Amino acid sequence: MKKLNVLVADYAWPDLEIEQAVLSTVGAELVVAESGSEAELIALAQTHDPAAIMVNWAEITPAVLAAAPNCQVVARFGVGVDNIAVDEATERGMIVANVPDYCYEETSDHALALILALARNIVPLVNDTRQGNWNLHVSPRPFARLNTQTVGVVGFGRIGRALAEKGVGIGMRVIAYTPRLTADRVPAGVIATQDLDELLQQADYVSLHLPATAATQNMVNQEFLGSMKRSAYLINTARGAIVHEGDLYDALRDGVIAGAGLDVLKSEYAQSGNRLLELENVLATPHAAFYSPDAIADLSRKAAENVVAVLRGERPPEDYIVN
């Protein structure tokens, strides 16, 4: 019987014990890349002829897929698949699978945490107190009473829905937008709209929960930001590509909007030159919204189970299949 190899392009946690335990049920062994570069992945694919590829952030390009002609499934450690050449995989008969219910609690918690931190001026207060001051007026931004504030949720998948429910739970007014969203698809207390401008004009916090696609790239641009209230904040725990960073910088600098809470940037590994991080009205975290040990354990197991299903001649759950 031919040996089954699974190429792991990259991962962001200490070890692959969970993945290996699940994959061992079909006799598969892991081949782990060191850098995750295209050249390395091509070389490993040509050498080890993987039956599956597992990937976190690395780029699975058409050239990588061409080097692995016997690959049956590309399994993403996560939700978005913008780093995978899905059309190429589809043409080659490869299933592309993700874990769509991954980290929705953690990411919605993080979005809510950014909203609360901005509403209560937490970071300026903490920084000033550490410097020996005891002054509640350190921030020029006013404090907000949450039950007078509106959260606009743009995108209404699992994460957007979870944030909406949590916003309602703490007494905030919540408006949700996605094309063709109807009232019967939102939880009690959430207002559904198919008019994005209506949401932007009313929301005190606009929270993004969209995938990175050709349709959403640079969706948050000068026009989008100009439709927001001058007192409003942009929250992005989704993908950096959704935001035109030049337009956001101008809007934040010029007071078009009050501030932003950002967990994602377009170039997350070249932060030193990003002007957004120089602005005092930006609260940034290092793409941490997804993280908790529980979330990583679930992700590792479910991504590996997607691979095992395909290698057994079965299919992953239908809502885990991207193509």
Tokens of 273: 């030159």
Q: How many CA atoms lie within 13 A of 76 on its CB side?
A: 26
In degrees, to the nearest 5, what angle opens at C-alpha 160 toward C-alphas 221 and 109?
Answer: 105
DSSP H stretches of helix in the chain? 17-23, 38-48, 62-66, 86-91, 104-119, 122-130, 158-169, 196-202, 222-226, 245-253, 293-311
What are the structure tokens assigned to 136, written together? 């509640």
Work out the angle between the directed axes of helices 104-119 and 158-169 (0-180°, nearest 10): 50
Positions annotated as catalytic residues are 239, 268, 287
Structure-block tokens of residue 145: 């009473």
Q: In the structure encoding, which two tokens stand for residue 317, read together?
A: 């759950």
CB 31 within 8 A of CB 8: yes
The residue type found at 234 is L
* Type of residue numbered 253: R
Q: Please, are residues 54 and 45 in contact by the beta-carbon 8 Å criterion?
A: no
Q: Which helix (H) or strand (E) holds 36?
A: none
What are the beta bridge partners of residue 52?
6, 73
Asked if 5 and 31 count as a contact pair (C-beta separation under 8 A), the reply is yes
C-alpha distances (whole Å) from 276 to each of 111, 145, 244, 251 are: 18, 27, 11, 11
With a CB cutoff of 8 Å and minimum separation 6, the contacts of 168 are: 174, 187, 188, 189, 190
Kindly list the strands in the beta sheet with 73-76, ordered across the sheet, starting from the edge strand earlier in the chain: 28-32, 4-8, 52-55, 73-76, 95-97
